[in-house]
């Protein structure tokens, strides 16, 4: 697991927050370790409710097949399912949904966790997290 990529996702979350969006960032990394794309939450600034950081990164990448997604926060069910469809094989996240939801105001809270969404698919995806949660949660404060 590359803490460098997770740290970058957290930096992108800070940038998203500074731009008036909810503070989420993501880095999509290929199987060879090459950064394929980065994404910041753009829901408020872009007027697109699907512009979560993970989906922004997937849309920007030529491929997500066999890639690892590093996300500052636990991916929501929409993003988790999209990563299944895109061919991501590993998801690493910083802050867990229950923890960041206790800090953020507004927005839906999901009881369906990332690992549960990917477990429901007939593919092999590894989910790791929370990782460095204290650092990741600082973005939400």
Q: Would you name the residues annotated as active-site residues?
A: 54
The number of helix segments (H) and strand segments (E) in the chain equals: 7, 5
Q: Between the CA of residue 97 and those of 32, 34, 42, 76, 101, what are the distances in Å? A: 29, 27, 19, 8, 6
Burial of residue 37 (number of CB atoms within 10 Å: 0-12, 13-18, 19+): buried
| DSSP code of residue 111 | S
Place of tokens 């370790």: 33
């Amino acid at each position: 697991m590359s803490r460098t990529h997770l740290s970058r996702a957290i930096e992108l979350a800070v940038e998203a927050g500074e731009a008036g969006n909810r503070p989420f960032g993501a880095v999509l990394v290929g199987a060879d370790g090459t950064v394929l794309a980065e994404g910041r939450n753009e829901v408020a600034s872009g007027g697109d409710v699907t512009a979560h950081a993970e989906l922004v990164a997937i849309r920007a990448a030529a491929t997500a097949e066999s890639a690892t997604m590093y996300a500052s926060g636990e991916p929501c069910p929409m993003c988790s399912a999209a990563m299944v469809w895109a061919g991501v094989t590993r998801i690493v996240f910083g802050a867990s949904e229950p923890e960041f939801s206790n800090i953020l105001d507004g927005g839906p809270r999901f009881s369906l966790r990332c690992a549960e969404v990917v477990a429901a698919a007939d593919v092999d995806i590894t989910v790791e997290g929370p990782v460095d949660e204290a650092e990741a949660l600082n973005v939400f404060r």
